[in-house]
Amino acid sequence: MKNVENFQNKKVLVLGTAKSGYAASHLLHQLGAEVTVNDRSPIEQSEMAQKLQNEGFKVVCGDHPLSLVEEDLYCIVKNPGIPYTNPILIEAIKRNISIYTEIELAYLISEAPFVGITGSNGKTTTTTLAFLMLEEGKKNPLIAGNIGTVACEVAQKANRENVIVTELSSFQLMGIETFCPKISLVTNIFDAHLDYHGSREEYIKAKSAIFKNQTVTDFAIVNYNDETVMGMIADSKATIVPFSSTEIVENGAYVKNNSIFFKEEEVIKLEKVVLPGKHNLENILGAVCIAKLLNVSNDAIEQVLTTFTGVEHRLQYVCEVNDRKFYNDSKATNILATQKAISSFTKPIILIAGGLDRGNDFDDLIPYFNNVKTLITYGQTSQKIVDSALKTGMKDYKTVDNVEEAVNEAYALSESGDVILLSPACASWDQFKTFEERGNKFIQAVHKLV
């Protein structure tokens, strides 16, 4: 860990006491800061706040009092999910007080270079693939960020021999000032989190921050087939490395003669890759770019791509029951993800979809309903999804109350050879705390059929 003196004897406010707030509080204390922690929930409802208080931190819970924005406050480190409309953040912006997420802290203290991966869909799969390839290639990778482990915890353990592979959300990227990944990657851009960012333009601006500090000695890996992503690099100073699943591109990854190539070098035959779906091919190409830029051998890449079958809750194969294959794609919290999931199969699909109503319709799924044999909906958006399906003339559909009922109905209506796919196209928060909880409920219901 680098010896950073920026925070020595400075007042720092940590906003939010989730995992990132807890880790950031401890790191800031270690760096010599005077830390105050604030959370809107009552302290009785926050295990992390209770732990911090018991450990001697100053903790203010139950409200966001503006009095915490003191005259000599050095900076605020906020939980990524807290919007900038929070009154404390509005006051801090008025006073030109810096607002970070903990990824900035991680970068400031890290001796290891970063690989930063963002985009609307495919981040987790690409991050996992890249990490596994680097691990197989003995490049001493560590994995962090939005994928699970808090980045500033990982950065404290890293040294110059490591590389930190991070999945980054738009929420995290909004709070960077100096963060500069050695390798950045943007998978794709689709309208998402507009309730947080306010507009598509602001969402893209947040994602684009991953490039802003890169120089010619850094690399920006981009999806050549995504017009928005290509527009984001217009002012980038980094060395551009494209990937494409449909065209041959210079200085990047592409498909030719049923093989994956990087630049002019054949890396692996497509027939050996076990992860299904065209969208996963894009994720694979992005991960191959990362691996090859870090001098991973083709043998190591092949070992990963011939064994990796998917990340949990992301087009995850669950099991087969009486010649029906079940797939858990609970991470499909938007329409684009569900489009890609449906497109991954040639066999008849029974689609289970629904969840939190964010005000949008589902007409963008209409061209994809042609691949859906039967539709099962649940949750707040049930009728909206059915309304879009009816525009295609679909006759086989049913609405149920929850995921468990959806699994039972899907199985009852299925035939030998069918694919039963949970790909909700919606966030989970109408009935679940997380998409992981939703996916686990689906898996449990499937296993009860066996």
DSSP letter string over 59-79? EEESS--GGGS-TTEEEEEE-
312: left (phi over 0), alpha (psi -120 to 50) or beta: beta
Strands (E) across 62-177 are located at: 73-78, 98-100, 114-118, 141-145, 163-167
Domains of the chain: 11-100 (3.40.50.720), 104-305 (3.40.1190.10), 316-447 (3.90.190.20)
Residues of the chain with pLDDT under 70: 148, 191-198
Quick: pLDDT tens for 162-174: 999 999 988 889 8
pLDDT value for 191:
60
Burial of 271 (0-12, 13-18, 19+ CB in 10 A): exposed
Residue type, 101: T
pLDDT value for 415:
96
Tally of CA atoms within 13 A in the half-sphere of 252 that contains its CB = 27
Q: Which residues sit opposite 58 in a β-bridge?
A: 36
pLDDT value for 346:
87
Nearest to 31 by CA among 66, 72, 74, 2: 2
Chain-centroid distance of CA 303 in Å reads: 24
Query: What is the C-alpha to C-alpha distance for residues 358 and 364, in angstroms, rounded to an integer?
Result: 15
Nearest to 246 by CA among 284, 282, 283, 286: 282
User: Which residue ranges are tagged as binding site for ATP?
Assistant: 119-125
Output the pTM of the full model.
Answer: 0.79
Query: What is the C-alpha to C-alpha distance for residues 335 and 364, in angstroms, rounded to an integer?
Result: 7
C-alpha torsion 145→136→328→393, nearest 10:
100
Q: Considering just the CA atoms, what is the radius of gyration of the chain in Å?
A: 23
Q: Which residues sit opposite 185 in a β-bridge?
A: 117, 221
Burial of 64 (0-12, 13-18, 19+ CB in 10 A): middle
Query: What is the C-alpha to C-alpha distance for residues 151 and 166, in angstroms, rounded to an integer?
Result: 8
Counting DSSP H helices and E strands in the chain, the numbers are 16, 20
C-alpha torsion 162→151→124→287, nearest 10:
-30
Query: What is the C-alpha to C-alpha distance for residues 343 and 53, in angstroms, rounded to an integer?
Result: 50
pLDDT value for 148:
65
Element (H, E) at 89: helix 87-94
The DSSP symbol for 404 reads H
Residue type, 421: L
List of residues 6+ apart from 271 with CB closer than 8 A? 258
- The helix/strand/coil state of 184 is strand
